[in-house]
Amino acid sequence: MTTSLIVEERPLPVILQPARDELLSSWLRRHVAFYGVTEPIFTSWLRLGTKNLRSLDGQLGLDQVARIVEKFRCDPNAVLEMTHAPLPAEFAPLVRSSKPRQFCRSCWDRHLAADAQGVVMKSWREGWRVTCPVCGSPLCRKAISLAAATIRSATRALFQRTGTLRGKERTSSIGI
């Protein structure tokens, strides 16, 4: 048996903890970033039968669940809970398949502070949600981009570390 075959069959050495309510594609993308590989290489190594991680959020086969469980040493129920697969068919039109239109600022800040950038929660794609199921805060429309929320969080962290800027309180001129 060659070394490449041995490495291919091993589970991942470092497994990132999934955030509560995190989408499967988000969790897998965080591993892609952590390991510094591309999505196609990662999905090929996992042998998931797709190059599009987002497609796993809505429809996940048993063989795909088995591969993820094997490589990530996790519970199959935890994998299924990270998808929208268990939803009844009538809810499908209310789940956005592309980028989320809403997000929770509190959870976004918490993920940034926990060094879990890039977390996308299931509830952010669910059109019927008005509050975050994790923290109870109201979900915000994406009128403010996640990039602006990141800047806001970084600025807040900087002010908390350094106090006020030159003894004066500063507020953002763009309203974030």
Of the pLDDT bands very low, low, confident and very high (cuts 50, 70, 90), residue 172 is very low
Domain contains 159: no
Domain contains 97: yes
Domain contains 100: yes
Domain contains 174: no
Question: Which domain covers residue 55, as residue numbers?
Answer: 3-143
Average pLDDT, the chain: 78
Q: Which two tokens stand for residue 126?
A: 């669910």
Query: Burial of 73 by CB count in 10 Å (0-12 exposed, 13-18 middle, 19+ buried)?
Result: exposed
pTM: 0.70
Of the pLDDT bands very low, low, confident and very high (cuts 50, 70, 90), residue 174 is very low
What are the pLDDT digits (tens) for 28-87?
A: 999 999 999 999 999 999 999 988 888 888 888 899 999 999 999 999 999 999 987 766
Helix (H, G, I), strand (E, B) or coil at 173: coil
Question: Total structural domains in the chain?
Answer: 1
